[in-house]
Amino acid sequence: MDVTVDRKATEDGLWPATLTQTTEAGKVPLRGFVDQQGKTFFFGAFRRLSGDMLAQRTKAFDDYVADSPAKGASKPAVTIMEFSDFQCPSCKRSSGYVDAILKTHGDQVRYIRYDLPLAGHPWAFAAALSGRAIYRQKPDLFWEYKHAVYENQENLNAFMIWDWARGWAEDHELDMKKFDADLADQKIRTQLLEGAGVAFSNDVRATPTYFVNGAQVDAGDEGKALAAYVDKLLTK
């Protein structure tokens, strides 16, 4: 970890601080605050009780959600953000939960897949970056890619993920010159890494995690609790 402290105190008398975690994929910034004695680090963001706390938290993701894979209603009553990792077994098991909800409420629900490749998963970042390159060319094709990754999850590893993803892109007739350029684009890589840091700094601690209109919701057994929560919001 590298530590950066902004010694301009907030109105609470704390200093903004960033712990930068170096991973194999790159640097992940983890933001919070430190007291002026340098003894206590508060990980995450403070939110005013007088304001809309869910809206405050949701706003933190705006810059990253804009480029994340999404589908469903263009003017939704309900927005589901799924923080997910391609190498995570639990994410594989839950990968169809939101699809079932969209099938029922597709005209009222928007689904955003927020890539959160965990540092302990050696090929998760490569899969996320490849998926982003696919989405930038053919958004609808990304969802087929997502299914293919989870279908082959047990057979993939860090040594062959790049070749596997590139072969998948070739088989689906993508512009490979653009695909390779996107993989090498440092801006896209940085956005994924910084997006992960923003997630960790805003109450996301594991994958999969679901936010529904900004509220963190436990998916429950086979996604039933998530579906029930959405149903309740839409029947108010």
Which pLDDT tens digit goes with each residue over 99-128? 999 999 989 999 999 999 999 999 999 999
Provide the residue ranges of all domains of the chain, joining segments of one domain with +: 2-43, 53-234
Rounded to whole angstroms, how far apart are CA atoms 47 and 202?
11
Tokens 């994340």 belong to which residue? 68
Q: Match 């936010």 to its residue by tokens.
A: 211
pLDDT at 10: 87
| Amino acid, res. 142 | F
Q: Provide the pLDDT for residue 56.
A: 86
Burial of 23 per CB tally in 10 Å (0-12, 13-18, 19+): middle
Residue 205 to residue 203: CA distance in whole angstroms: 6
Q: Name the strand (E) or helix (H) holding 127.
A: helix 124-137
What was the pLDDT predicted at 9? 86
The pTM assigned to this predicted structure is 0.93
pLDDT of residue 120: 92
Query: What are 142-174's pLDDT values in tens digits?
Result: 999 999 999 999 999 999 999 999 999 999 999
Query: What band does 49 get if pLDDT is binned at 50, 70 and 90?
Result: confident
Going 123 to 202 to 77 to 207, the CA torsion angle's sign is positive
8: number of Cβ within 10 Å: 7
**What is the C-alpha to C-alpha distance for residues 134 and 156, in angstroms, rounded to an integer?**
18
Please tell me the class of the 53-234 domain.
alpha beta
